[in-house]
Amino acid sequence: MQKTVMKNLQTLNVLPILALATLFIRISGSTSLRLLLTGPDMAYLGSRVTFWCTAIDSSPPVTYELIGDGGVLIGTDIDLEGDRGARFVLKVTATSEGSYHCTAAAGGSTGVSNSIKLTVVTPASNTRVTSEPFPPVAYEGSGFVLNCTTKGSHLSYTWFFNRKEVTSNTSPAFQLSGNKLVMGNVTFEHAGSYYCMATSRVQDTERFSNSAPVQLTVKVNISKPRISFSISKEGASYHGNVTCWSTRGSPPVNFSLSLDDREVGSVTATESLTAWFPVDMVPGLDMGEARCRVTTEVQELMSDPVTLVVVPVGGKVKMEVDYLYRADSELAAARLTCQVSRGTFPYVSWLFNNSVLPSETHVDSHIQPALSQYAVADHRRTLFLAKLGPEESGYYRCKARDSYDDSGPWVESPDMLVRVTDRYHNSMPPATPSTETPQNAPKTTIEAIAIAFCCFLLLTLAACVGCVYTMFDHEQAHAPVATTNPSLDALPLSSPQSQSEGNPADTSSTDSSVQNQTVEITV
């Protein structure tokens, strides 16, 4: 009895196992189809794509279904012969992006294929360039950003500067970041035309869209302003003019003038970097301290102050001569300099043998020995004798007056006789009023001067030694007399005034009012 109960219990335990095995066999038989889904993983919006679903080693007929995300049935197809599979053609829309798989049923068997994720690519359109800041104007040293804005997806961007592609090696100032072109330190060289190209790619097909070019303007930072002034005379009235200018920068800029910290005028320069302001001016009077201020969108600078005082020409006029030598130590030219002791705006005129030199009508120029005999420079204060010969011998002098008053008085320098000879081709000229020694003087002359100076120094030293020895011997000879007569009064010293009267100095030879000086130039 007990054995029978045990056998029945074992039978009851086996039944569930047999039921599960039967169910497993049925399920295995229904999913035995092997399916393969093929098709693109990317497609352009508006294009058509094809998916193929194929059952491997299946008996016809085979029923196929294409399933989208969320179990949405896309399409159905039947293969009656069992050798071609199913073909599904889709028109790509914005909602077509997602995962796809297919199922199949044949002879009571079913199967599920692999999945393909389809990405919808929108081609670029309406591409344009925007700037930060806007409009596209930047100052030197500032930062600047260009954006390539477009409609589309899955895009890459290429930038062009003056029709050349911008890469990471183009300039250290260029940085490519997504659809942005970043410039961290703008210089004047970055001014030019920029445009971008947005590109998408699906398999072997590329589509792109170019923007219109944008012109980037780089403004040069303004330099510190400078200030100068001038004066003119009309009839009995004087008119002053103050000039403010900068040497570099990008207009427009605003110039303003202040007198004693009070603004008296303002001008916006749109095409240049210079502005002029009329001011009251009277020769000899202090009209105040003037300063220029220049302002731009990002800068504000002040000039150094200038005192508006016009000193009339006067005082003494002195003329000096220097010599210019070639590399072979030959004298090439003479330079005469006119020094006026007083005057803000002197006009200098040069005379040779009491006749105005031909260069009187010429503007300042550089030395051109082959083209002209004379040349003036430094606002006519310097005269170059570009040609040296006997015909240049004669009396030279300069005179000056106020440049703003044609009828004003002249002050003149003494005449200087310059005599040019041909005796010694390479010798130094004799002593001249100028105390400067030419840098390229002949070496033999310098050596002779040095030897003579050394000899003079030795003779002076020997004389001093002799005097000291004589004084010492004299003191030794008179020493007993001094000790035996200690009560003797000291002899009175002779008066320096009486000695001076006995030897009056002859001052006639040092008269400083001599008007004629002679300079002999030997060439």
Q: What is the pLDDT of residue 390?
A: 81
Shared domain for 338 and 381, answered yes or no, is: yes
| pLDDT(80) > 90 | no
Phi-psi region of 108 (alpha: psi -120 to 50; beta: other; left: phi over 0): left
Alpha-carbon gap, residue 251 to 220, rounded angstroms: 9
Shared domain for 253 and 330, answered yes or no, is: no
Alpha-carbon gap, residue 519 to 395, rounded angstroms: 10
Shared domain for 330 and 414, answered yes or no, is: yes
Q: What is the pLDDT of residue 422?
A: 56
Going by pLDDT thresholds of 50, 70 and 90, the confidence category of residue 141 is confident
3-state DSSP helix/strand/coil % of the chain, to nearest 5: 20, 45, 40
The alpha helices in 136-268, defined as continuous H runs, are none
Rounded mean pLDDT, 460-475 = 70
Taking only the tens place, the pLDDT of each residue in 396-453 is 999 999 999 998 999 999 998 887 765 434 444 443 444 343 444 444 456 667 787 7
Which residues fall within 8 angstroms of residue 404, CB to CB, at 6 or more apart?
A: 230, 231, 232, 233, 238, 345
- Tell me the backbone φ, ψ of residue 458, rounded to 5 degrees: -65, -40
Does the residue 484 lie in any domain? Answer: no
Structural domain count, the chain = 4
Does the residue 427 lie in any domain? Answer: no
Q: Give the position of tokens 């290429």.
A: 158
Map residue 511 onto helix, strand or coil: coil
Taking only the tens place, the pLDDT of each residue in 67-79 is 998 888 999 999 8
Q: Yes or no: say if 385 and 336 are a contact pair by the CB < 8 Å rule.
A: yes
Average pLDDT, whole number, for the chain?
Answer: 79
Last residue of a domain, one of 57, 88, 121: 121
Structure tokens belonging to residue 210? 């170019």
Phi-psi region of 9 (alpha: psi -120 to 50; beta: other; left: phi over 0): alpha
Q: What is the pLDDT of residue 297?
A: 86
Q: What is the pLDDT of residue 14?
A: 43
Alpha-carbon gap, residue 103 to 67, rounded angstroms: 8
Shared domain for 161 and 108, answered yes or no, is: no
Q: What is the pLDDT of residue 121?
A: 94
Last residue of a domain, one of 404, 421, 438: 421
Does the residue 479 lie in any domain? Answer: no
Specify the CATH number for the domain of residue 377.
2.60.40.10
CA angle 514, 518, 522 (to 5 degrees): 170
Highest mean pLDDT among 30-39, 238-247, 445-454: 238-247
Q: Yes or no: say if 209 and 259 are a contact pair by the CB < 8 Å rule.
A: no
Does the residue 499 lie in any domain? Answer: no
Shared domain for 334 and 305, answered yes or no, is: no
Shared domain for 137 and 156, answered yes or no, is: yes
Q: What is the pLDDT of residue 133?
A: 86
| pLDDT(366) > 70 | no
| pLDDT(52) > 90 | yes
Taking only the tens place, the pLDDT of each residue in 337-364 is 999 999 999 999 999 999 998 655 444 4
Q: What is the pLDDT of residue 13?
A: 53
| pLDDT(490) > 70 | no
The DSSP call for residue 188 is: G
Shared domain for 305 and 318, answered yes or no, is: no
Shared domain for 265 and 303, answered yes or no, is: yes
Q: Yes or no: say if 273 and 251 are a contact pair by the CB < 8 Å rule.
A: yes
Does the residue 385 lie in any domain? Answer: yes
Q: What is the pLDDT of residue 403?
A: 93
Alpha-carbon gap, residue 278 to 282, rounded angstroms: 13
Compute how many other C-beta atoms are within 10 angstroms of the C-beta atom of residue 224: 13
Shared domain for 214 and 271, answered yes or no, is: no
Q: Give the position of tokens 């294409």.
A: 66
Structural domain harbouring 265: 226-309
Rounded mean pLDDT, 220-243 = 93
Q: Yes or no: say if 88 and 74 are a contact pair by the CB < 8 Å rule.
A: yes
Shared domain for 105 and 158, answered yes or no, is: no
The DSSP call for residue 308 is: E
Does the residue 321 lie in any domain? Answer: yes
The DSSP call for residue 7 is: H
Does the residue 459 lie in any domain? Answer: no
Q: What is the pLDDT of residue 319?
A: 92
DSSP codes joined into one string, 369-399: TTT-SEEEETTTTEEEE-S-SGGG-EEEEEE
Q: What is the pLDDT of residue 473?
A: 61
Alpha-carbon gap, residue 112 to 72, rounded angstroms: 15
103 vs 418, higher pLDDT: 103
Last residue of a domain, one of 290, 309, 328: 309
Going 18 to 24 to 26 to 32, the CA torsion angle's sign is: negative
Going by pLDDT thresholds of 50, 70 and 90, the confidence category of residue 470 is confident
DSSP codes joined into one string, 469-510: HHHHHHHHHTHHHHHH-TTPPPPPPPPHHHHHHHS----GGG
Q: What is the pLDDT of residue 472?
A: 61
Shared domain for 37 and 65, answered yes or no, is: yes
Does the residue 330 lie in any domain? Answer: yes
Q: What is the pLDDT of residue 382?
A: 93
Nearest to 266 by CA among 242, 247, 298, 250: 242
Structure tokens belonging to residue 36? 């393969």
Shared domain for 237 and 293, answered yes or no, is: yes
